[in-house]
Amino acid sequence: MTGPNENDRTVLVCKGTGCVSSGSIAIYDAIEAEIKKAGLEEINMKLTGCHGFCQRGPIVIIEPEGVFYSAVQEKDVPEIVESHLKNNKPVERLFYRDPVTDEPIKCYKDIPFYSGQERIVLKNCGHINPEVIEDSINAGVYQAIKKVLHGMTSEKVIETIKKSGLRGRGGAGFPTAVKWKFCRDEKANQKYIICNADEGDPGAFMDRSILEATPHQVIEGMIIAGFAIGATKGFIYVRAEYPLAVKRLGIAVSQARERGFLGDNVAGSDFSFDLKIFQGAGAFVCGEETGLIASIEGSRGMPRTRPPFPAQKGLWGRPTIINNVKTLSYIPEIINRGADWFAGIGTEKSPGTAVFALTGKVANCGLIEVPMGTTLRDIIFKIGGGIPDGKKFKAVQTGGPSGGCIPAEFLDMKVDFDELAKVGSIMGSGGMIVMDEDSCMVDIARYFLSFTEDESCGKCTPCRMGTQHVLRILTNITEGNGKPEDIDTLEKLCKTIKEASLCGLGQTAPNPVLTTIEYFRDEYEAHINEGRCPALACKAFLTYTIDTEACKLCGLCKKECPTDAITGSVKPPETFVINEEKCIRCGMCFSVCPFGAVEKSSGNGGPQVRKSGSENNNE
């Protein structure tokens, strides 16, 4: 049986930010040149946005077979063209390999990372050219606009969204239809719709990837939202640090305007709507609605007290709706496929799907979309492929830097807005960071507090001063200067910050601290009372020694030591010894030793000792 005729083939090359940073532009150009050289000009080339499996980039997919090539390099291009495109023999060495069985998987649809998902928002990501509007139209974008403007009232649109049960995907999970109705009922000669794409969470790239891959579906969602609330103007507030998203949004807005989907008489109707792209100020707090509004107005991005809510008095004092990128992306699908369809996915109180940026100590990092109610275990071990290097799962943080750290005992918990809240975490905008046994939970809390403390706007005292004090205590604990009363002090401080802060940043910033104290209190106590870090992560507690029997006298440790703390010679009977007074605990000797001769311990040679060597090296 021969493969498909090359005339039917399309070569998809990911040009999302992740793959571009790994060289996909050069790969695209090389494939195009090789195809021309081989006389295969009939084969189509298409750039795409993020396909989701960022860890395996650069990604090349051959359609219609769906052959998935991962970690492609420019040197692989001639073989792909000659063997696959010319002679119908896929290049197996470039297939994704199962992390457990090591079996090669040819088609992306058979890879657990993809087969375990249910894509609604991401369904076109990686399959269409975001810079060509015809690709989006052929994929069904802008069909919902015609249905709305030529057959529905604003009341009917809001009723449909209400029936679907859609909750905002920006973090709080507030019912979208309720917010829209508040704004629609306000009397004003001008209203606004804002797309909040100010994605500032460490490790988060959901909104960026959607804007880069399918900008037209976001624009369509904004037009429908504008029609529903009576707004004729909109803004896409996107981080200036997302240059590719800004570029593709600009192209999409221009194309939509040329095709009559923006401007006067949208899609031949009596409704007019236009939008502008506003590049954000780079402050995490501008992701908060009122801080974002202040930024657009030209002021410093600082939250204000509510009420009045933005739906009543928002941008320039006019009624304003602010929705997240993902929230707006669902709108056309709900209109096209019906409220009952959407409500039938997920859970009763959290319908639909959730989009996560799955990162950290997990085999398959990337952008995923799963039904609400999917368990953490399925996300991390089926889609994510489990924990690399045989390590044990320890915790997962959801909701970005303000999310809680969820321990292994809750692996079978169903992920939705309400279930996460029960264990002290939040859905947030969709960050999900996995941690293994080598992660120190005290240091994790310190890291996230350092981010929120730095990003606090300083307007309210509980957040401004409270986060500083919490960070100071956490730093002291990780540096070996903790006090027995610190844990109680942290709990009291964090509860006060949550209750008294003005906006969501301060109200959620203590979550990492409170959850790590609740679920990993023993690690705090070990740092304070026993003078050791159980995870062997905090430098202040570490001691490095060399096992002379295991040492092969290669000299790598001495050569790489930046402080000349290692003495000895490669000539027997000399041995290598680490001078603790000169050692800065950088771990370089541990990293470079290939023989397991360098040992790392905590608390004056405490109960846990880790040997160097490639299989144990997680520095």
Q: DSSP states of 294-349 as a string?
A: HHHTTS-------SSPTTTS-GGGS-EEEEEHHHHHHHHHHHHH-HHHHHTSB-SS
Instruction: Give the rounded percent of residues in the chain with a pLDDT score beyond 70.
Output: 97
pLDDT score of 483: 96
**Distance between CA 175 and CA 114 in Å, rounded?**
29
What is the mean predicted confidence (pLDDT) over 33-45?
Answer: 94
3-state secondary structure 313-325: CCHHHCCEEEEEH
pLDDT digits (tens, 9 = 90+) for 379-409: 999 999 999 989 999 999 999 888 999 999 9
CATH architecture classification, 541-611: 2-Layer Sandwich (3.30)
What is the mean predicted confidence (pLDDT) over 214-225?
Answer: 98
**Distance between CA 195 and CA 231 in Å, rounded?**
13
Residue 4 has pLDDT above 70, yes or no: no
Buried b (16+ CB within 10 A) or exposed e, 60-85: bbbeebebbbbebeeebbeebbeebb
Cα-Cα-Cα-Cα dihedral of 548, 552, 553, 557, to 10°?
Answer: -80
pLDDT digits (tens, 9 = 90+) for 445-467: 999 999 999 999 999 999 999 99
Average pLDDT along the chain: 93
**Distance between CA 298 and CA 317 in Å, rounded?**
14
Residue with tokens 């304070």: 528
Comparing 16-30, 209-223, 280-294, 402-416, which segment has the lowest mean pLDDT?
Answer: 280-294
- The sign of the CA dihedral 224, 225, 226, 230 is positive
Answer for the pair 294, 302: CB distance below 8 angstroms, yes or no: yes
The end-to-end CA distance of the chain, in Å, is 49
Residue with tokens 């997302």: 242
Does the bond joining 64 to the residue before it have cis omega, within 30 degrees of 0? Answer: yes
**Distance between CA 146 and CA 346 in Å, rounded?**
28
pLDDT score of 7: 53
Backbone angles phi, psi at 376, to 5 degrees: -60, -35
| Beta-carbon contacts of residue 467 (< 8 Å; ≥ 6 apart) | 449, 452, 453, 456, 497, 506, 509
pLDDT digits (tens, 9 = 90+) for 48-97: 999 999 989 999 999 999 999 999 999 999 999 999 999 999 999 999 99
Strand partners, 196: 237, 324
pLDDT digits (tens, 9 = 90+) for 341-374: 999 999 999 999 999 999 999 999 999 999 999 9
Residue 228 has pLDDT above 50, yes or no: yes
What is the mean predicted confidence (pLDDT) over 294-320?
Answer: 94
pLDDT score of 313: 96
Buried b (16+ CB within 10 A) or exposed e, 94-114: bbbeeeeeeeebbbbeebbbb
Tokens of 388: 């690399």
pLDDT score of 561: 96
48: three-class secondary structure by DSSP: strand
What is the mean predicted confidence (pLDDT) over 483-501?
Answer: 96
User: In CATH terms, is domain 353-436 a member of 3.40.718.10?
Assistant: no
Please write down the long-range contacts of 155-160, taking CB distance under 8 Å and 24 or more positions apart. Answer: 157/224, 157/227, 157/228, 157/335, 158/184, 158/228, 160/334, 160/335, 160/338, 160/339
Cα-Cα-Cα-Cα dihedral of 149, 151, 155, 161, to 10°?
Answer: -80
Closest CA to 178 of 190, 164, 191, 192: 164
Confidence of residue 570 (pLDDT cuts 50, 70, 90): confident
The fold adopted by the segment(s) 133-342 is Rossmann fold (3.40.50)
Residue with tokens 């624009």: 219
pLDDT score of 6: 46
Please write down the long-range contacts of 250-257, taking CB distance under 8 Å and 24 or more positions apart. Answer: 250/277, 251/130, 251/131, 251/215, 252/130, 252/131, 252/133, 252/215, 252/216, 252/219, 253/219, 253/277, 255/133, 255/216, 256/133, 256/216, 256/219
pLDDT digits (tens, 9 = 90+) for 604-613: 545 567 887 6
Backbone angles phi, psi at 286, to 5 degrees: -70, -10
pLDDT score of 609: 77
pLDDT digits (tens, 9 = 90+) for 166-194: 999 987 789 999 999 999 999 999 999 99
pLDDT digits (tens, 9 = 90+) for 104-126: 999 999 999 999 999 999 999 99
The fold adopted by the segment(s) 441-530 is de novo design (two linked rop proteins) (1.20.1440)
Backbone angles phi, psi at 402, to 5 degrees: -100, 10
pLDDT score of 204: 85
pLDDT score of 604: 57
Confidence of residue 616 (pLDDT cuts 50, 70, 90): very low
> What is the pTM for the complete model shown?
0.93
Amino acid of residue 610: R
pLDDT digits (tens, 9 = 90+) for 366-379: 999 999 999 999 99
What is the mean predicted confidence (pLDDT) over 289-298?
Answer: 95
**Distance between CA 452 and CA 285 in Å, rounded?**
9
**Distance between CA 155 and CA 63 in Å, rounded?**
42
Answer for the pair 31, 44: CB distance below 8 angstroms, yes or no: no
**Distance between CA 404 and CA 397 in Å, rounded?**
6
pLDDT score of 2: 40
Q: In what order do the strands lie in the sheet with 44-48?
A: 44-48, 10-14, 60-63, 67-69
283: three-class secondary structure by DSSP: coil
pLDDT score of 594: 93
**Distance between CA 356 and CA 337 in Å, rounded?**
23
**Distance between CA 417 and CA 433 in Å, rounded?**
17
Instruction: Give the rounded percent of residues in the chain with a pLDDT score beyond 90.
Output: 87
**Distance between CA 475 and CA 453 in Å, rounded?**
13
For the chain, the structural domain boundaries read 6-111, 133-342, 353-436, 441-530, 541-611
Tell me how crowded residue 270 is: count the other CB atoms within 10 A of its CB: 8
Which CATH number among 3.40.50.720, 3.40.30.10, 3.40.50.280, 3.40.50.2030 corresponds to the domain 6-111? 3.40.30.10
Confidence of residue 603 (pLDDT cuts 50, 70, 90): confident
Answer for the pair 90, 84: CB distance below 8 angstroms, yes or no: yes
Confidence of residue 618 (pLDDT cuts 50, 70, 90): very low
Q: DSSP states of 358-410 as a string?
A: EEES-SS-EEEEEETT-BHHIIIIIIS---GGGPPEEEEEESGGGSPEEEGGG
- The sign of the CA dihedral 413, 419, 421, 423 is negative
| Beta-carbon contacts of residue 61 (< 8 Å; ≥ 6 apart) | 11, 12, 51, 67, 68, 69, 108, 126
Buried b (16+ CB within 10 A) or exposed e, 550-572: ebebeebbbeebeeebbebeeee
Q: Do domains 353-436 and 541-611 have the same CATH topology?
A: no
What is the mean predicted confidence (pLDDT) over 410-430?
Answer: 93
Residue 443 has pLDDT above 50, yes or no: yes
Buried b (16+ CB within 10 A) or exposed e, 484-509: eebbeebeebbeebbeebbbbbbbbb
What is the mean predicted confidence (pLDDT) over 32-55?
Answer: 94
